[in-house]
Structure 1
Amino acid sequence: MGHLLRNPSLLRPLLRPWSQGAASQAVALASPKGLAAAAAAAEDAEPMPFEALPGPRRWPLLGSLPAMLAHPAFDFERLPRLWSSYFKEFGPTFRLRLPGQGDLVYLSQPKDIERLMRATQENPVRPYLTSLEKVRQQTDFFKKNQTGILTEHGEEWWRVRRLVQTYSMKPKMVVQYLPQMDLVAKEFVVRIAGKRDDMNELPENFVDELFKWSLESVCLVTLNRRMGCLEGQPEGLKIIEASSKMFEAFASCEYGVHWWKFIPTPSFRDLKEAHDVMLGLAIDAVKRTQEALATRTDAEGDLNLVESLIMTPGLSFEDVVTHVLDFFLTATDTTSMTFIFTLYNLAQHPEAQAKLQEELDEVLGRDHTAPITPERLARLSYIKACVRESLRMFAIAGFVARKLQNDLVLDGYQVPNGTIIFGSQFESGKNAEAFPNPDQFKPERWLRGSKGDEGLTVKNQYASIPFSIGSRKCIGSRISQQEVFVLLSRLFQRYNVSYKYKPWDPVFKTILFPDQPPKFTVTER
């Protein structure tokens, strides 16, 4: 089946007439414009039945899979392209049914995403990373129903979440990590500048270098220990390799057919193998911290993140290890991709880059040895807006997902309890009503007050929530964003960046990645 997912042309000649016929029939019954008009008119009327939700044809047992494979837009590495086509064909909301997953509903309208998030805020069940949950259920280290906040829900999720979020979500706590982040960022800028070729272009393996920067920064923040990632030390590279392997496996497990629920597929085995490697490293890291903590005195300064977790009543050794493991897993790739897509946008928009550098000159000056203090970071509003705008245009994670615990009306349809809902950040981030001129890179739309352009004002904040929202918001989002702000500041304080090659067509491996070597040209200011 994995072969068919990556080579759908084998099935298209057989399936295309059926899938296109179903699509044509659905469009004839309800075109995108017709659906939108009907939904608006029926906002307060009796909701339409769930079975009326449009979508590609469904077969017994195989569900929508044959139609997906036969679709001209299908590309397993670019699934957002297929979903975008479905939104055009079926309207702002469509329905799929996939083997092992049941009914899936995809939303694109900000108002429906807002309704979903508000309706589920008291008990946000995220139907995602179920393959990771199964891996942990099969691993002796984890206690029953205690697999970590990435995979648990309800009381167990909240037991851990409420205890750990203080150290990574409160702004006053996060800014304490600034000196470590700044140290690694300055070292990285010097290192990467030294790797330029005679055309002042960054190396083709720049993404790999970013992974080293992100992991070194995270480890210094969490463990107060240098991993030697920038110098290529084995321990750090082992984490990077295992993390990348896990993201590859996640994509196949979560977005492919869920055969792994019944048999150990190659992707599931890869996921388990990489997870075991990272688990061993996390256990070792926490044990080392415990030993170091036992020899510390109060005079030696504040506790680092992991030391704080170890000292928190109610958290077990397994809880701390799992949180460190999840930090390693989610921080490296997502932070690196947030940085690289922001860099890509700034390299293509010299006017925005110049405005960013003007702000840096005003706040930090040209002395790259001067520290970035919390007060200075707070004044870097434009650089934060650039990151926010880049996350709108390139939705790194792609979706916010929830499993309904009660019936809910979405886009005029009665959606039953238990249905899995995906709010597409790819589509809602391009919504012209929420974001006037959505194809334009305009960081100004995220600036408050008089600094913003009123013609670009964001109409609905739920149209772009890259880190989710509410109690299930990404627990590492503040740390990740702060890392990105600091590195962008240090890079553009000293250099100009441009990009002269073909536009990117990102691939989707659980998160977005560039589809070609990011060969940026970096020159001294």
Structure 2
Amino acid sequence: MLSLRRRINTIYIFNARSTRLLGVSSTLVDKRNYIKTWQEIPGPSSLPVIGQLHHFLPGGSLYNVKHALYDTLYKRYGPIVKMKILGVPFLIINLYDPGAIEKILREEDILPDRPAFQSLQYYRKNYLKSDNPNSESESTGLITEHGDNWKSLRSKVNPIMLQPKGVKVYNKPLYKVAEDMVSRIQFLLDEKHMVNNVRHEITMWSLESVAVVSLGQRLNLFDPNLPEDSPARKLTKNIHEVFYIAQNLDLKPSLWRYISTPLFRKAMKTYAEQWELSKYFVQQSMVNLKKETNRPDDEKSILEKLVNIDERTAVLMAGDSLFAGVDTAGNVVTSILYLLARNPDKQKKLREELISENPKQTYLKACIKETLRIIPVVPANLRKVSKDYDVLGYRIPKDSFVILNHEVLGKTEQHFPRPNEFIPERWIVDKTDPLYYGNAHPFVYNPFGFGTRSCIGRRIAQLQLESFTSQMIKNFEVSWDGPPAEVEVAIRWLANRELTLNTLFDQFGPIVRLEGKLRAPTLIFILDAEAAALILRSENWMPVRPGFRS
């Protein structure tokens, strides 16, 4: 207990001292450069202990704005907005200014820190067995890693994943997957020319096309006779579970960093299953590749080149592709079909281009770009900043999480005239046209990220989207009968109720120690009245109560 007490006191006395020094420093800077402190950044009002949580509860000013949260914050508070949420131990800054966004992205581009998917990182770091005696220095994957480990892996795979010649290898295979998807849709059409559960079919296409690249083979998911207990069907089910688990463990407050919750235990099993399935398909492809000899390098697959680095890298990249690529590709093509259905004149124009077999496919590419402007894959980029930044007259402190809101900016009249209209022509008109996309600030539209941390699979993704969209629009007329769709982008900050204090008491008794994972501090729960009274009385002279520094 003594060592823990010292640890807590050291941490928070240091932070309190730092805060006071920052206040003095900010006052001096204020007089010279008119830079306001981070406490003065606009944002929803904050209450003691709960922070801004009350705004998201029923009756609150931000309750039930699921599809327009970031847009609402921008309209109410301007180009920089401060957020401090219960259960989130860091400052969140929303930026809506392209110049400020450019500054952050450029200056954080050496070893950019983009926090994401900590539960997957924890599994790969602590559960995967490695033959490497220096396994601590091994990367856990591109989507989970940061710092030198991330840089090392990225430098290995960049020449393989981003080479245009390497992507051309998949032109015919991906178009064949799209053609098979068309055949399946034709088979599934009912008497009203409709397909039930289109989303499920699109997910199968997405997994099938991602597998061609990352696993080096077809999964044959469109085969109605494929057994339910086959590895391919198991992988399909696993992908759905992984998405659900990652959303609930990593994008919502959860106690898994302190205690092995039921969902955390399920996550470790699900991630293990995905790893073994990925490994199974990669090894199967390796056996087939060994039978094919003397092929020139520009005809070798991405998987074959990754295996030449080592098998672990190949399986890591396969897992990352499945984790990040399947849901993403499915969402984008769904958005493309929706916007074309809502704009039949644009759909007709695209079909005419596709039937003419114009090899440049200019309008097809423009339709994809316009879709990613209106309904981007993610509404914003994220960076954990490595130093203090002075932007828009305010100081953003080091270690803040900065949300770079590209979606909101991409739908502002200032940058894209008639922003809420689906106008693919803006991407191909002459520079003198008011609609010309080049009139917008270059950091407004950023669908695949920026710099060293940009999407490594963007060339493959582009080919996926082009092959699917072209085959679907050539063969079908897509229509939409319902009201306009709303895209939910709100982050749910309400507490996860997997674990209550009553549960802790019932399982462990009146004193419970929760060891933090991933640098989270250790917690001691005192569930006994006399012990709690002793602590409170003993700490009453100069009590240190860790709280919300904002």
1:84 correspondence with 2:71? yes
Distance 2:464 2:471 in 1: 11
Matching residue of 1:104: 92
1:334-361, Cα deviation, whole Å (9 max, x unpaired): 0011101011001111111122122212
Q: Which amino acid aligns with 1:474?
A: C
1:166 correspondence with 2:159? yes
1:347-390, Cα deviation, whole Å (9 max, x unpaired): 111111122122212225xxxxxxxxxxx2xx012111111111
Question: Partner of 1:421: helix, strand, or coil?
Answer: strand
Matching residue of 1:351: 345
Q: Which amino acid aligns with 2:70?
A: W
Q: Which amino acid aligns with 1:292?
A: N
1:183-227, Cα deviation, whole Å (9 max, x unpaired): 111111111122111111222x11111111111122223343221
Distance 2:144 2:123 in 1: 11
1:459-510, Cα deviation, whole Å (9 max, x unpaired): 1232121211111111112111211111111122222211111221233499
1:438-464, Cα deviation, whole Å (9 max, x unpaired): 1111112222646x8433434123212
Matching residue of 2:240: 244
Contact 2:67-2:487 within 8 A present in 1 as well: no
Matching residue of 2:63: 74
Seen in structure 2, the aligned counterparts of structure 1 residues 423 and 97 have a Cα distance that, compared at 3 Å, is: same
Matching residue of 1:470: 451
Q: Which residue among 396, 406, 410 is the counterpart of 2:377? A: 396
Distance 1:265 1:460 in 2: 46
1:187 correspondence with 2:189? no
Question: Partner of 1:84: helix, strand, or coil?
Answer: helix
1:56 correspondence with 2:53? no
Question: Partner of 2:435: helix, strand, or coil?
Answer: helix
1:227-284, Cα deviation, whole Å (9 max, x unpaired): 1111253323322322222222222233322433223345444433332221111111
Q: Which protein has the larger Cα radius of gyration, Structure 1 or Structure 2? A: 2
Contact 2:428-2:436 within 8 A present in 1 as well: no
Q: Which amino acid aligns with 2:240?
A: S
Alpha-carbon offset, residue 401 of structure 1:
0.5
1:123-174, Cα deviation, whole Å (9 max, x unpaired): 2111222232223223233643521111112221111112112232222221
TM-score (norm 1): 0.79
Question: Partner of 1:454: helix, strand, or coil?
Answer: coil
Matching residue of 1:47: 35
Alpha-carbon offset, residue 119 of structure 1:
1.8
Matching residue of 2:128: 140
Seen in structure 2, the aligned counterparts of structure 1 residues 103 and 503 have a Cα distance that, compared at 3 Å, is: same
What is the 5 A alignment of 1:196-215?
A: 196-203=189-196, 205-215=197-207
Distance 2:235 2:100 in 1: 38
Q: Which residue among 300, 314, 321 is the counterpart of 2:315? A: 321
Alpha-carbon offset, residue 64 of structure 1:
2.8
Seen in structure 2, the aligned counterparts of structure 1 residues 424 and 80 have a Cα distance that, compared at 3 Å, is: farther
Matching residue of 1:306: 303
Q: Which residue among 328, 337, 342 is the counterpart of 2:331? A: 337
Contact 2:235-2:274 within 8 A present in 1 as well: yes
Q: Which amino acid aligns with 1:506?
A: V
Distance 1:383 1:91 in 2: 35
Seen in structure 2, the aligned counterparts of structure 1 residues 242 and 74 have a Cα distance that, compared at 3 Å, is: farther
Question: Partner of 2:114: helix, strand, or coil?
Answer: coil
Matching residue of 1:225: 217
Distance 1:484 1:197 in 2: 26
Contact 1:242-1:277 within 8 A present in 2 as well: yes
Seen in structure 2, the aligned counterparts of structure 1 residues 480 and 455 have a Cα distance that, compared at 3 Å, is: closer
Structure 2: gaps of 5 or more residues: 1-29, 493-550
- Percent identity of equivalent pairs: 27
Contact 1:404-1:421 within 8 A present in 2 as well: yes
Distance 2:370 2:280 in 1: 38
Matching residue of 2:426: 445
Contact 1:109-1:431 within 8 A present in 2 as well: no
Seen in structure 2, the aligned counterparts of structure 1 residues 299 and 133 have a Cα distance that, compared at 3 Å, is: closer
Distance 2:263 2:328 in 1: 21
Provide the aligned length of Structure 1 versus Structure 2: 449
Seen in structure 2, the aligned counterparts of structure 1 residues 478 and 299 have a Cα distance that, compared at 3 Å, is: closer
1:454 correspondence with 2:442? no
Which stretches of structure 1, 4 residues or longer, exceed 4 Å deviation after superposition? 508-511
Question: Partner of 1:144: helix, strand, or coil?
Answer: helix
Matching residue of 2:270: 274
Distance 1:161 1:304 in 2: 18
Question: Partner of 1:311: helix, strand, or coil?
Answer: helix
Distance 1:494 1:478 in 2: 25
Contact 1:219-1:226 within 8 A present in 2 as well: yes
Question: Partner of 1:496: helix, strand, or coil?
Answer: coil
Matching residue of 2:537: none
Alpha-carbon offset, residue 289 of structure 1:
2.8
Seen in structure 2, the aligned counterparts of structure 1 residues 360 and 127 have a Cα distance that, compared at 3 Å, is: same
Matching residue of 1:124: 112
Deviating more after overlay: 243-252 vs 437-446: 243-252
Deviating more after overlay: 149-158 vs 338-347: 149-158
1:71-121, Cα deviation, whole Å (9 max, x unpaired): 35435xx74533333223222221112324311111122222222211212
1:94 correspondence with 2:85? no
Matching residue of 1:426: 407
Seen in structure 2, the aligned counterparts of structure 1 residues 79 and 104 have a Cα distance that, compared at 3 Å, is: farther
Question: Partner of 1:492: helix, strand, or coil?
Answer: helix
Structure 1: gaps of 5 or more residues: 1-41, 365-375, 512-525
Matching residue of 1:31: none
Deviating more after overlay: 172-181 vs 297-306: 297-306
Contact 1:129-1:250 within 8 A present in 2 as well: yes
Q: Which amino acid aligns with 2:340?
A: L
Contact 2:410-2:416 within 8 A present in 1 as well: yes
Q: Which amino acid aligns with 2:151?
A: W
Contact 1:96-1:103 within 8 A present in 2 as well: yes
1:383 correspondence with 2:364? yes
Question: Partner of 1:274: helix, strand, or coil?
Answer: helix
Seen in structure 2, the aligned counterparts of structure 1 residues 467 and 299 have a Cα distance that, compared at 3 Å, is: closer
Alpha-carbon offset, residue 311 of structure 1:
1.2
Matching residue of 1:259: 255
Q: Which amino acid aligns with 2:248?
A: S
Contact 1:136-1:147 within 8 A present in 2 as well: yes
1:26-79, Cα deviation, whole Å (9 max, x unpaired): xxxxxxxxxxxxxxxx9x95321111012223345543334333535435xx74
Q: Which residue among 485, 494, 513 is the counterpart of 1:504? A: 485
Question: Partner of 1:498: helix, strand, or coil?
Answer: coil
Distance 1:120 1:493 in 2: 43
1:266-321, Cα deviation, whole Å (9 max, x unpaired): 54444333322211111112222333334432159932221111113xxx332221
Question: Partner of 1:227: helix, strand, or coil?
Answer: coil
Distance 1:246 1:184 in 2: 24
